[in-house]
Structure 1
Amino acid sequence: MTEQKIFTGEHPALKFDNLDVQFKTEFGTVHAVKGLTLSVEPGEVMALVGESGSGKSVTATTALGLLPKTARITGETVVDDKVVGDLSGRELRAIRGRRVAMVFQEPMTALNPVIKIGEQLTESMEVHGVAFGREAWARAIDLLAAVGIPAPERRVSQFPHELSGGMRQRVVIAMALACDPEVIIADEPTTALDVTVQADILDLLRSLKDKLNTGILLITHNMGVVADMADNVAVMFKGNVVERGPVTDVLLNPQHPYTKKLLSAVPHLGEGPGQFGVPPAPVAEGAETALEVRDLIVEYKRAGKKPFRAVDDVSFDVKRGEIVGLVGESGSGKSTIGRALLGLIPSHSGAVDVLGEDLLAMRGAEMKALRKRIGVIFQDPAASLNPRFPIGDVISEPLSVHGIGTKKERENRVHELLEAVQLPRSAYNRYPHELSGGQRQRVSIARALALRPEILIADEPTSALDVSVQASVLAMFTELQRDFGFACLFISHDLAVIDALAHRVVVMQYGKIVERGTRDQVLLNPQEEYTKRLLAAAPVPDPIEQKTRREERHALLKSLGDTVVELDTRELGQ
């Protein structure tokens, strides 16, 4: 067993005592949090886990007094021995940032896009009287250096849009540190980040709580992150804490059915196909090539500058009945390839053969006829479904566009597809906003299959879904692939998902392919440095295994000459 910290509970940094939160809405009362009691000790990471709608973020938001006036709150939230609900607006402003700070999920919503980074860091210091003027500016530079941002003297004068997503998240952490709070609430702090950046941010947070004795309330649905970070875990379901305890007990020996369900739904890197029911069907020997990409180059023109090459001399193929996983981090060119294969953006040069046809040479009616044989699933179903169409029309739209079948035949086909993606027939007349995120993604898959495509291009189709919803969608996807036999290019940054689905894997970095091979060759025996980094950074939902993986990752980074992210408390004058 891993070493367990012992917390006395005498002076918690943050305490919820019988917290109950209800919201009045036009449709009635929503009971978001039901009598929750929980504490976070100095130097402890308490993970609050659960899926969308479980009440995690509502619980955390009470600590900052930020819930809307429609919320009816009973019970107590205690910060710095003060009951948050009893504080005036002025008293609340005094503890926000100074006693309790928040790291939000999306840094661009937490940062002001028109104010320089340094000014945003100094603002809270000056408001709380921590530092002023040149002293505050120097401390802002020290904070950026402490959270591992290179050239901090230059970065303080930049705007948020000039930094990468990982850099912006570090700035948000630096802002949370600015006034030395006793507790930091980290609300899904790594959800939007690449796996290597996520690993660095988790290293930084771990170093922070160890060196500064800061309590952290970590809100997440990622069990790998919980295994990597938490000392203790509380599992929330429909406003209730249904299980709590040390991280090793909860993750390795769960007692509540909901916790068991959550953990069984997490894809585990190294377990291979079949994690969610049936594995994908093996590719037939001598199967024809459905998609062949040769020497593809895609460039984006920039005014007054040299064109940016997003895809650089890429070649790969996909056989009929095969799932090829295209993996890499943000900016690697994965989604650009997907859009180029659909003819949505022009290619600079190269060749793309789709089902024996030259895609790049096609125009007009020829392109329309070819697109009929290609299905596509986008990452965000809310953005790809017309909100004014009922679901029946959304799914039948490709059939109408290509003039296939009578109205009655199209209606029958939609009912077949709803059944195939495990949605009730009643969904036919409902609108996208009336469905959950997972149901909307099933509608996207049904629409992609409406024309019985021979090739399916799936661009991050499960990344926005809760873990149990993702598991059911992946299980369904595998069954559909066996039934329909389509070739599939599955674009993802989640290596565990690729491990559960793909026959072959292609790894991309900076627009180039760095490694390719069968799933076992690439994921179990990587040859390239970049692939090794990706795999080492992917967390697994087992605290003991994750601790070993973290140590191995640090050893790998040191062997490659990289620095392991740690909070440099000397920069903060600690």
Structure 2
Amino acid sequence: MSEPILSFEDVRVSFATESGTVDAVKGVSFDVKPGEVVAVVGESGSGKSVTSSTSMGLSAENATVTGTVILDGKDVTRMPAGELRKLRGNDISMVFQEPMTALNPVLKVSDQMAEVFEIHGRAYGKDAVAKSIELLEQVGIPNAAERIYEYPHQFSGGQRQRIVIAMAIANNPKMIIADEPTTALDVTVQAEILDLLRTLKDETKAGILLITHNMGVVADMADRVVVMFQGVVVEHGPAEEILLDPQHPYTKRLLEAMPRLRDTSLTVNEPSPVVAAEEVAPGDYVLEGRDLALAYKHRGRSKRVVEGVNFGVRPGEILGLVGESGSGKSTVAKAVLGLLEVDHGELLIRGKNLPKLPRREKKALRREIGVVFQDPAASLDPRFPIGEIITEPMVIHKVGTPKERIARAEELLEAVKLPRDVVNRFPHELSGGQRQRVSIARALALSPSILIADEPTSALDVSVQARVLDMFSELQEQYEFACLFVTHDLAVVDQLADQIMVMEKGRVVEQGRKEQILTSPREDYTKRLLAAAPVPDPYKQRARREARRQLLTAQGIALD
């Protein structure tokens, strides 16, 4: 057995705050061996990221760290600042969750990558750039020799994450910490990034500490799993044992909370049977798009990003919009909200064409539409108490007296399973899941007939997501709103949606009933989306990974 490259021995981290000492990590011990992936899982606040940051000496100023963190035979907790700087990026490196915050937006990629070599004295000037180009080619960036001189915003999200990974492996570190490296990515891009990390691990024999709350990613990547809860390791062992036969109640709850994607048969050569479209009587739809085309206008120029989209949603029905980033999902949602003008076609709400209505009628019709955004922290004004946030739509549309509005806010808080006294609290006093419940309560303030949900659970922990989705289903049955649910998580769509519309590059490639799309997809693009979705079972995921490789090869798509 090889010696561990990274060991945590009785690590404890506490923070001195105004209200007293907070113990964030309470005696954590585990190790990572060369060429091994150890996944640390748990909800927000469980101590995952605090534990991993101690291995790089990145604890906050008000933190007190005890215990030992041994990296390649050296105790990181007792190193002076100068030695720690040499260590970071050289012996140990980190891949962050959001590549746009990890990359400097005002510097070209060439400058940022060359700096990694220059700081550690590995290469300078043209040599550093040449090595950077080799790395970009290694992680699958096309035309690397030309694109290296571009800025981060000129790359897609998946390409930016590849650049961050290239920087992390630049000096052949013995240890890589991957902190939620795929959370912000589409399912197909996520699969590519995981393939890349797996390949790099096999080639470099670096140990990987993977921090995630996605059990599908754990099944796809991890050799061993460490489960953390409230700063304590409650269970650890081989991935197969933890995922298939968990012993601790908390681990069981995490796995039960995962939305499950049904088993899908992805035929490679034989086309799936065509299912006839269901006939719907005119006037049955609350929300309808007819030959919809949408465009973004900039400096007098118009660029169409959505073309020829047709859909309809009945009362009490959920239409799931799925596809990669840039496919046009959120653009369609923006148009329904009136945030983007319709370039061509009709967008009908209760039979009325929204773009052609006079301004006053448009405003009145918008009362029919509620919206829940992806990030509750960004969509709730931190200066206002929850009661004012929920009642704001009622104030704008002059609905009810102040007393009636507060009564409505309290009623909605109960509907989203929050106590009535939350009306007097501020957003920062609530957890992420509670803030998203407030967002849903606000969206329902005017009893809308249409609800737009744009990735409403992607920023939430898996257990919080499960509770929000269950609550969403209950509210949908109670209020019978028609819902446009935008997401890239196919398991969530499987749990909630009645219909699915699959979009690629601004066009609808496939749509129909959920059962038909998920069990017998006709289009190659839909099959790729389904094949890329990981499942929390190591054996099934291994088989799915191989099936995906066969599918991509059969479709003529080159594998990295």
**Structure 1 length normalisation: TM-score?**
0.93
**Any idea what the Cα deviations from partners look like across 1:491-530, whole Å, max 9, x if unmatched?**
1111110100111100001111000010011111111111
Residue 259 of structure 1: SS of its match in structure 2? Answer: helix
**Any idea what the Cα deviations from partners look like across 1:459-481, whole Å, max 9, x if unmatched?**
11111111111100110110111
> In structure 1, what residue type is equivalent to 2:484?
L
**Any idea what the Cα deviations from partners look like across 1:48-99, whole Å, max 9, x if unmatched?**
1111111111111111111122110000111121111211122111211111
Q: Identity across aligned pairs (percent)?
A: 60
**Any idea what the Cα deviations from partners look like across 1:227-272, whole Å, max 9, x if unmatched?**
0000000001111111100000000111111111111111111179
CA distance in 1, matches of 2:37, 2:528: 26
Q: Residue 284 of structure 1 contacts residue 321 of structure 1 at CA under 8 Å; is this kept in 2?
A: no
CA distance in 2, matches of 1:548, 1:136: 40
Deviation at 1:400, TM superposition (A): 2.4
Residue 286 of structure 2: SS of its match in structure 1? Answer: strand
Q: Which residue of 1 aligns with 2:88?
A: 96
> Which residue, out of 354, 370, 374, partners 2:349?
354
CA distance in 2, matches of 1:415, 1:219: 38
**Any idea what the Cα deviations from partners look like across 1:2-22, whole Å, max 9, x if unmatched?**
xxxxxx3x5211111111000
**Any idea what the Cα deviations from partners look like across 1:358-404, whole Å, max 9, x if unmatched?**
21112332112111122211112222222222111211222222222
Q: Does 1:397 align with 2:392?
A: yes
Q: Which residue of 2 aligns with 1:5?
A: none
Deviation at 1:127, TM superposition (A): 2.2
Deviation at 1:30, TM superposition (A): 1.5
Gaps of 5+ in 2: 265-277
Q: Does 1:295 align with 2:287?
A: no
Q: How does 1:299-310 map to 2 (within 5 A)?
A: 299-303=295-299, 307-310=302-305
Q: Residue 327 of structure 1 contacts residue 493 of structure 1 at CA under 8 Å; is this kept in 2?
A: yes
CA distance in 1, matches of 2:123, 2:279: 68
**Structure 2 length normalisation: TM-score?**
0.95
Q: Does 1:371 align with 2:349?
A: no
> In structure 2, what residue type is equivalent to 1:107?
P
CA distance in 1, matches of 2:167, 2:378: 32
**Any idea what the Cα deviations from partners look like across 1:132-185, whole Å, max 9, x if unmatched?**
333322211111111111111112211212111111111111111110111100
CA distance in 2, matches of 1:32, 1:320: 46
Residue 299 of structure 1: SS of its match in structure 2? Answer: strand
> Which residue, out of 254, 265, 272, partners 2:246?
254
CA distance in 1, matches of 2:248, 2:260: 20
> In structure 2, what residue type is equivalent to 1:157?
Y
Q: Does 1:475 align with 2:467?
A: no
Query: For the aligned residues, what is the CA RMSD?
Result: 1.7
Q: Residue 234 of structure 1 contacts residue 245 of structure 1 at CA under 8 Å; is this kept in 2?
A: yes
Residue 381 of structure 2: SS of its match in structure 1? Answer: coil
> Which residue, out of 35, 44, 49, partners 1:43?
35
Q: Which residue of 1 aligns with 2:48?
A: 56
Q: Which residue of 2 aligns with 1:432?
A: 427
Q: Which residue of 1 aligns with 2:492?
A: 497
CA distance in 1, matches of 2:397, 2:107: 50
CA distance 1:346–1:285, change in 2 (3 Å): closer
> Which residue, out of 157, 160, 184, partners 2:149?
157
Q: Residue 271 of structure 1 contacts residue 500 of structure 1 at CA under 8 Å; is this kept in 2?
A: no
CA distance in 2, matches of 1:461, 1:11: 43
Moved more, 537-546 or 407-416: 407-416
> Which residue, out of 446, 452, 469, partners 2:447?
452
Deviation at 1:550, TM superposition (A): 0.4
CA distance in 2, matches of 1:215, 1:165: 25
> Which residue, out of 136, 140, 163, partners 1:144?
136
Q: Residue 46 of structure 1 contacts residue 216 of structure 1 at CA under 8 Å; is this kept in 2?
A: yes
Q: Which residue of 2 aligns with 1:3?
A: none
CA distance in 2, matches of 1:382, 1:363: 34
Q: Does 1:508 align with 2:503?
A: yes
Moved more, 71-80 or 362-371: 362-371
**Any idea what the Cα deviations from partners look like across 1:535-564, whole Å, max 9, x if unmatched?**
110111111111000000011111111222
CA distance 1:172–1:65, change in 2 (3 Å): same
CA distance 1:406–1:271, change in 2 (3 Å): farther
Gaps of 5+ in 1: 1-7, 273-282, 566-574
CA distance 1:130–1:284, change in 2 (3 Å): same
CA distance in 2, matches of 1:384, 1:129: 45
Count of matched residue positions in the alignment of Structure 1 and Structure 2:
546
Deviation at 1:124, TM superposition (A): 2.0
Q: How does 1:9-408 map to 2 (within 5 A)?
A: 10-270=2-262, 288-303=284-299, 307-408=302-403
Q: Which residue of 2 aligns with 1:534?
A: 529
CA distance in 1, matches of 2:402, 2:90: 63
> In structure 1, what residue type is equivalent to 2:395?
S
Residue 451 of structure 1: SS of its match in structure 2? Answer: coil
> In structure 2, what residue type is equivalent to 1:347?
V
**Any idea what the Cα deviations from partners look like across 1:189-248, whole Å, max 9, x if unmatched?**
111111111100100111111121110000111111000000000001111111100000
Q: Residue 103 of structure 1 contacts residue 185 of structure 1 at CA under 8 Å; is this kept in 2?
A: yes
